[in-house]
């Protein structure tokens, strides 16, 4: 299962596009767009892969890339992306929106009642 670093990055980019619906020209762009959707450790692993690709293009700097660490980072990122549920993320976003609207309406109603009581209309 010896893969090159570029193949690993291509698979991570494709998985981010299909699983998380995050598109971009490169893995760096996709990671910036993903932001806090990815846990810190996964983001660090994906960043290691993205930086490794640029280092591998230079023969002298290619020695700086630890392929065992890159392989482990690739496996961590792919395991997280395959467990990512797009529907649950959308559902949570909708529920958060509904909850914030309901809270705003509740606070507005309470304030209206307080003002009406204070002015003597109730």
Q: How confident is the model at residue 1 (pLDDT cuts 50, 70, 90)?
A: very low
Q: How confident is the model at residue 36 (pLDDT cuts 50, 70, 90)?
A: confident
Looking at the predicted structure, is the pLDDT value of residue 115 above 90?
Answer: yes
50 alpha-carbon distance from chain centroid: 15
What percent of the chain is predicted at pLDDT more than 90? 65
What are 66-103's pLDDT values in tens digits? 999 999 999 999 999 998 887 888 899 899 999 999 99
Q: For residue 89, what pLDDT is reported?
A: 80
Please count the helices (runs of H) and the strands (runs of E) in the chain.
5, 0
What percent of the chain is predicted at pLDDT more than 70? 98
The model's pTM? 0.71
**Mean pLDDT lowest among 19-28, 37-46, 80-89:** 80-89
43-78 burial code (b ≥16 CB/10 A, e <16):
bebbbbbbebbeebeeeeeeeebebeebbebbebbb
């Amino acid at each position: 299962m010896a893969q090159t670093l570029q193949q690993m990055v291509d698979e991570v980019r494709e998985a981010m596009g299909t699983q998380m619906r995050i598109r971009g020209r490169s893995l760096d762009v996709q990671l910036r767009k993903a932001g806090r959707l990815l846990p810190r450790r996964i983001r660090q692993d994906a960043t290691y892969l993205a930086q490794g690709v640029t280092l591998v293009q230079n023969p002298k700097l290619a020695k700086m890339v630890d392929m065992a660490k890159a392989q482990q980072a690739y496996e961590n990122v792919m395991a997280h992306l395959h467990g990512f549920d797009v529907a649950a993320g959308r559902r949570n976003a909708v529920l958060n929106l509904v909850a914030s609207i309901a809270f705003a309406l509740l606070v507005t109603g309470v304030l209206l009642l307080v003002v009406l009581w204070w002015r003597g209309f109730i």
